Copies of this chain bind each other. A is one copy, B any other.
Amino acid sequence: MQPNKIITLTTDFGQAGGYAGAVKGVLLRINPQIKIVDITHEISPFNVLEGSLLLNSFYQFFPKGTIHLTVVDPGVGGKRKGVLIRTDDYFFVGPDNGIFSFIYDQEKVREMINITNLEYFLGKPSSTFHARDIFAPVSAYLSLGVKLGEFGFPTQDCYKFKLHAPVYRKDYLMGEIIYIDRFGNLVTNISSDLIRKSKRVQIRIKNKKVNHLSQYYEEEKEGKLLILIGSSNFLEIAVNQGSAQKLLKAKIGDKVKIEKI
């Protein structure tokens, strides 16, 4: 697999500042042929878990050879390593702090490099902005065809979150909300496979019950709570033309109980 000149950017830098701009400048100065694709710069500050979930929602749609530059980095300048990962189809560059947890779970990691070679850094790197000083130049040189081994030494040790899996009980399955999108849809950690095994289900969240699995939002009346399999193949709790988050005053981590009926 060769890099394809596409580099996606996923960070918690915020839209309002110049940090993402500096990263883009560094990328284009090293390789003006790069096609930069903004994913988001609005991950909640320091929220590595949110970043890892978000990465998981889009990376697999990109063409083979895409470089996913992903930086939520509260430990910048400290002990955490910087890593460069090659899977069958993609490259990932960023801090080794759990942000690639889903990638380690779902993809075969073919090569993982602990980034150490100063030769590919932007001068003497600052200790507060490795996205600009290390991860961007490494991504850009990678896109120019520099071999992975050039950037540092192979490593197999990496940091993974223990992701909450749904818990099986005798009569029910206990899941939880792992992500809330802009529309107030509540994405759970319950995959469509788990749901489809049982023909009929009932979910309970915050004293509300829903026992019909909808196909699409408009199937229910405006303002009505519903459940469906969302676009990432997880059970999702939603409100037609409204916000399930507001209706239920829900937050990440809230429990969702699934019972057979």
Interface residues of chain A, those whose CB is within 8 Å of chain B, are: 4, 6, 8, 10, 12-22, 24-26, 28-29, 32, 35-43, 45-46, 54-63, 66, 74-79, 126-129, 132-133, 181-183, 215-219, 228-231, 236, 240-241, 243
B75 touches A45 (CB 8 A): no
A58 touches B219 (CB 8 A): no
- Inter-chain CA distance A38–B243, complex, in Å, is 25
- Inter-chain CA distance A219–B79, complex, in Å, is 10
B127 touches A215 (CB 8 A): yes
B40 touches A15 (CB 8 A): yes
Select one of B29, B37, B132 contacting A62, CB under 8 A: B29
- Inter-chain CA distance A152–B132, complex, in Å, is 37
Contact A215:B77 (CB < 8 A) given known A32-B63, A38-B38, A129-B231: yes
Contact A58:B128 (CB < 8 A) given known A13-B182, A63-B29: no
Chain B residue contacts of A219, Cβ below 8 A: 77-78
- Inter-chain CA distance A6–B10, complex, in Å, is 21
CB distance from A229 to the nearest CB of B (A): 8
Select one of B42, B46, B181 contacting A19, CB under 8 A: B181
Chain B residue nearest to A79 (CB atoms) is B218
B61 touches A25 (CB 8 A): yes
A39 touches B57 (CB 8 A): no
Chain B residue contacts of A24, Cβ below 8 A: 8, 37, 39, 58, 61-62
12 further contact pairs, Cβ within 8 A, besides A32-B63, A76-B216, A133-B231: A6-B32, A17-B40, A18-B56, A21-B57, A25-B58, A29-B61, A61-B132, A77-B216, A78-B217, A127-B228, A128-B217, A128-B228
Most chain B C-beta atoms within 10 Å of own C-beta, residue among A10, A127, A133, A229 = A127
